[in-house]
Structure 1
């Protein structure tokens, strides 16, 4: 099982960085059994002793050390040793290249991660798993290589068996829309940021922001967790500059809340008298599960006078899984949070509980596939209009992107990427906003910041409204998933009148802009040697509807069965005791017509069959009428009558199953025998 899924530890910080969970702060050191909380900088430096670099690169002990660090999630140390080993190309292997890339990926060094993943892809492509492709694609995004990232995500979706345009798929047209959209925000780096990690802001007491930081001026300066050699996290508070929205002069929040371990991701009740926050699971020392993992828990504290009471953990916490990132609804009646508890869909999901009047809580409810994916959803923030959260499972620009979803009595609506420049090719997360002013804060580890993660203020800009109603999509080959350039894409109105036509671009994409909202259109797609594809699309005003078109090759209908060449359509079914062509049958016959049009020398014969119900002679008569109905339909579509050698009915003489009247059969089994077959006589 993947370490980052097993641990989920320190989800509020470490989990946000490409699965950066801090198992390292909670397990026992494997070599000397010293509790990690006792490890100092001096001990850490001894690990990096120069003697490591003097060991022979292909020495199995060196690999063992790197793997040991990797398994304990000491990724910085592991990466350093993998670099030494892989400096000799003769040491390249799938496992070492993958771990080197993963070590950097988990530490959000996408430049170095890309270096090793790229070699892995070029040298060991056949051994790569879906997760390998996913991380490689995100490393590509992190380096601005979007075109190749899109191709890799299409391959990832294919391996995972995903349909396009669902949560978790990296739909090219959606991605292009995000990349090409106008900036909707003005962002600024705030003053309180340090060279360490500063993130997870939350509004407090109208004019303040509480946030998490690993800036450490306490006596615990040597108490660092191994992920990236930064001090443990505490909560700080800063006053908002009303004019500039800047944050300055941060001080530690409360001695009752801050401990010697991690605290982060806080939320406050509407009256600011109750707070929930995330902390390591510990008593006198860190508590671990059977795998040595110290999980996260949500704690609650009530304000009495000027300070807060001793925090108490919530009843749905567990020593076996993590809970974190609490977020209260504006009325204080719903508490959203993140967890990897049983019932999770992915690495981490967003859940919600009711906060009851007696102080109890309902059973946690997963927000479901409308919000959660098989990857990571985290940092929820809820207003009276929208849910905001970060994810790397929905279509985004980099690692974690910020998303929004409106909600009503029917639940959450479509998840949308909030766009640039809040989202970048790095991790963007812990987004909070005032719906009234459209001002707020978020955190990011993008280039140009002061430290590892920085907090940014933002103001949502008013963008001049234009008609942005459009239909966009990508044409792909059905079986391989390859993009298909130069396919003819035609836009038809609800009366099937042609409005526009274009060719798909080199990446298979197409777009029809300036359309009417709330109107039904049809997309008709053609390409030589492929079946025509029709898609009905309903537009929404000032939105882009995404269409995925998959074309199937005509020749794939030509098969050989028992030495006989046939046109293999889906079954041509007929209603009981009838010979007219049903609508579903006409669609299959249209495919046959397309193939015969592409192969003008093709001659076929039609054989039609019934089930065993009714008299044998009548069944033979009925099947003959069905064969001739199929022939007449094909001729009506422009195929010369001479190209159909015969159309004969065989009644119940050639049943496909044992439903011959001697056994009881369902209606569905009988229907299997009511069919027409198309045998190729000549090509």
Structure 2
């Protein structure tokens, strides 16, 4: 089954070489260049049977079927091409082969080709997400929960019907039906009548169309008209048409008839003769216009200089004086090295068709939201709205989530058909899991109580961590909502972590947390200063070596510092006033440094001890200075080691 839209593949809708007298030569290349792919394919097959299986012939044979949307034969001949010339093929042919494989539902083989070409694409200017090696993304798309009910319309015919657009309370669309003419003119490519505009009434809830009639005898010409858009008031239309004036087709230097955008105004109940927009050209195509809801921006499709791919989406401002700004490419977030086509704009969203972004095969419909820096990364709308064939021309009333789109999928009434859809309300089925580790040693913590709390502070459930420190909640979370995880365990400080869900369906939020022991009882505050308080450590007379009983006390310092891995201390050693001042200062300094060295030897980083200094008898705690009579107990008060906390967190 042919597709009016896809088969005119050189550009994007109905561009191409109209047939010349050259066709009297039954030559495959001439037929191919004139877009007569059915004839060309048969001729290339004859050449292959005669032994002519060069890369060029096989490429054109595969292309002839690909452009005619005969994906079964395209897969066959691209397969032969790859088996013989895979090492020298450009990424464009992997791109086509992947599309053809998806078109016949062979996603496994498509992913294999994607893997082969991932590395080549990294150094290529051919940039398409469709060819990135991302099995998970493709599998997610294939397995995504459907969001749409779709229905084939009763007005469809065996020929092309596509491109619906809202016009007041009606629908205007393009069709090859030719019910109004006694002498039918046929487009040689697909042996169908040329496209004209038709109008239909919506029925019931808008799920079907009826009472089809010609839209305008003025706008419908001898050649193709398609893809219209109307200003909000409905009295000005922009539409796509062959470069056609005064019964003559305009052509560039190579004989190609390009597309142009024309505009017309409704006056006295009749449309005026169409005139071109100023950014048309004789050298490239401009078409598929789409106005923003306020009518101030006009989006369109073109292959003009500056395009990223085969066809890109551009935008111009519609000025108050009736003029237009310079065309601006929407950039690489939207446009790829493939084809971006059929834009439709609502308040805050852009819908378009693309074969460059990751899809199911052929053109898929994508949705992009307007963000702070422009349109954001597009989202594939998934099955059943998208299929393994061409899906495009999406329009929607955001308030009802009802609309129409076009497709040449299997099971239709003819070529391209128009379908209605109802988009289901999105349900977010995100969940949350996480883990808890002890901050001091990064080891998992078992039996930590974990609570899930919503943004209003309501508890949604409790659980406990397993032996691996992991937890998980079965609660279904709302999209784009805030939540909090709270943890507690006896002997440890409570902790919490906030997180927000996104718009991604079936997403599991992962929330890691740390837990810390309660402030150790050895940590005290004296005169506004935090210290680690242990029993006094003792040294042998005139010695600075760490005794066993001192080590037991210092191990308490080590344990506390391991529990608080960011803690930094300084060590101060003091003596009483007995002995000379100089001797006491030197001995206490040796003991302070010996104490610090022992702590470091037990696994504490040296930089966590800011200093280790002996002060001798300079900082006595009582009156027992030189020459003052004091008891042994009073002198002992001044003999001490202090561990002052410089930094705790």
TM-score (structure 1 length as normaliser): 0.62
Identify the match of residue 217 of structure 2 among 214, 235, 255.
255
Cα distance, 1:411 vs structure 2:
1.4
1:69 is matched with 31
8 Å Cα contact 1:18-1:399 kept in structure 2? no
What stretches of structure 1 of length at least 5 have no aligned partner?
1-10, 33-46, 48-61, 471-489, 501-512, 520-537, 547-635, 637-683
Q: Show the 5 A alignment for 1:77-96.
A: 77-87=39-49, 90-96=51-57
SS in 2 for 1:30: helix
- SS at the partner of 1:13? helix
Deviation at 1:297, TM superposition (A): 0.5
Pick from 151, 155, 159 the counterpart of residue 188 of structure 1.
Answer: 151
Match of residue 245, structure 1, among 185, 207, 215:
207
Q: Secondary structure of 1:192's match?
A: coil
Match of 1:347 among 305, 310, 319: 310
Query: Would the aligned equivalents of 1:428 and 1:442 in 2 still touch at CA under 8 Å?
Result: yes
- 1:5-45 Cα shifts (integer Å, max 9, x gaps): xxxxxx9935676966645453634356xxxxxxxxxxxxx
Cα distance in structure 2, aligned partners of 1:168 and 1:244: 34
Partner of 1:639: none
Task: Report what 1:467 is aligned to.
Answer: 430
Please tell me whether residue 304 in structure 1 is matched to residue 293 in structure 2: no
Residues 268 and 276 of structure 1 are in contact (CA less than 8 Å); yes or no, is this contact kept in structure 2?
A: yes
By how many angstroms is 1:247 displaced? 1.0
- What is the 5 A alignment of 1:151-300? 151-161=112-122, 167=129, 169-170=131-132, 171-206=134-169, 208-219=170-181, 222-243=184-205, 245-284=207-246, 285-300=248-263
Q: Unpaired runs of 5+ in structure 2?
A: 445-464, 467-474, 483-498, 508-603, 605-649
Larger Rg: 2
Q: Once the 2 structures are TM-superposed, how far is the Cα of residue 156 of structure 1 from its aligned partner?
A: 3.1
Counterparts of 1:227 and 1:144, CA distance in 2: 27
Q: Give distance in 1, aligned partners of 2:337 and 2:182.
A: 37
Tell me which residue corresponds to 2:64: 103
Identify the match of residue 30 of structure 1 among 1, 22, 25: 22
Alpha-carbon shift at residue 429 of structure 1 (Å): 0.3
Q: Give the CA deviation at 1:215.
A: 1.2
**1:298 match: secondary structure:** strand
Shift of 1:412: 1.1
Aligned equivalent of 1:113: 74
Whole-angstrom CA distance in 2 between matches of 1:268 and 1:493: 60
Contact 1:197 1:214 (8 Å CA) reproduced: yes
Deviations 1:424-475 (A, max 9, x none): 00000000000000000000000000001100000001244321689xxxxx
CA distance in 2, matches of 1:494, 1:295: 68
Is contact 1:20-1:106 (8 Å) kept?
no
User: Offset at 1:154?
Assistant: 3.1
Is 1:444 equivalent to 2:407 in the alignment? Answer: yes
User: How far apart are the structure 2 equivalents of 1:111 and 1:351?
Assistant: 34
State whether structure 2 residue 5 is matched by structure 1 residue 13.
Answer: yes
The equivalences for 1:484-563 within 5 A come to 541-543=502-504
Give the corresponding residue for 1:564: none
- The residue that corresponds to 2:594 in the other structure is none
Question: Would you say the 8 A contact 1:467–1:542 is kept in 2?
Answer: no
How far apart are 1:518 and its partner, in Å?
Answer: 9.4
Alpha carbons of 1:387 and 1:494: their partners in 2 closer, same or farther (altered >3 Å)?
farther
Q: CA RMSD in A?
A: 3.6
Mapped partners of 1:494, 1:424: distance in 2: 50
Task: State the 1:161 CA deviation.
Answer: 1.4
Tell me the distance in 2 between the aligned counterparts of 1:151 and 1:18.
Answer: 27
Per-residue deviation at 1:271? 0.7
Corresponding position of 1:524 = none
Q: What is the distance in 2 between the residues matched to 1:514 and 1:143?
A: 36
- Deviation string 1:277-300 (CA, Å, 9 cap, x unpaired) is 000002231010011111100000
**Deviations, residues 639-680 of structure 1 (Å, cap 9, x unaligned):** xxxxxxxxxxxxxxxxxxxxxxxxxxxxxxxxxxxxxxxxxx
Q: Which moved more, 1:255-264 or 1:459-468?
A: 459-468
| Partner SS state of residue 67, structure 1 | helix
**Pair 1:345–1:129, CA change in 2 (3 A):** same
1:221, 1:231 within 8 Å by CA — same for their partners in 2?
no
More strand by share: 2
**Matching of residue 411 in structure 1 with residue 382 in structure 2:** no
User: Could you tell me which residue of structure 2 aligns to residue 398 of structure 1?
Assistant: 361
Distance 1:425 1:539 in 2: 35
Question: Which residue number in structure 2 is paired with residue 375 of structure 1?
Answer: 338
Aligned length: 463
Looking at structure 2, the residues matched to 18 and 294 of structure 1 have their Cα atoms a distance apart, in angstroms, of 11
CA distance in 2, matches of 1:209, 1:469: 45
Please say if residues 12 and 341 of structure 2, whose CA atoms lie closer than 8 Å, have aligned partners that are also in contact: no
Specify which of 144, 149, 153 is matched with residue 105 of structure 2.
144
Structure 1 residues 544 and 419: alpha-carbon distance in aligned structure 2, compared to 1, 3 A threshold:
same
Q: 1 CA distance for matches of 2:296 and 2:80?
A: 51
Residues in 2 aligned to 1:338 and 1:465: alpha-carbon distance in whole angstroms: 34
Q: Would the aligned equivalents of 2:8 and 2:15 in 1 still touch at CA under 8 Å?
A: no
* Cα distance between partner residues in 2 of 1:492 and 1:303: 69
Q: Contact 1:389–1:431 at 8 Å: present in 2 too?
A: yes
Shift in CA distance, 31/143, structure 1 to aligned 2, threshold 3 Å: closer
Contact 2:128 2:338 in 1 (8 A): no
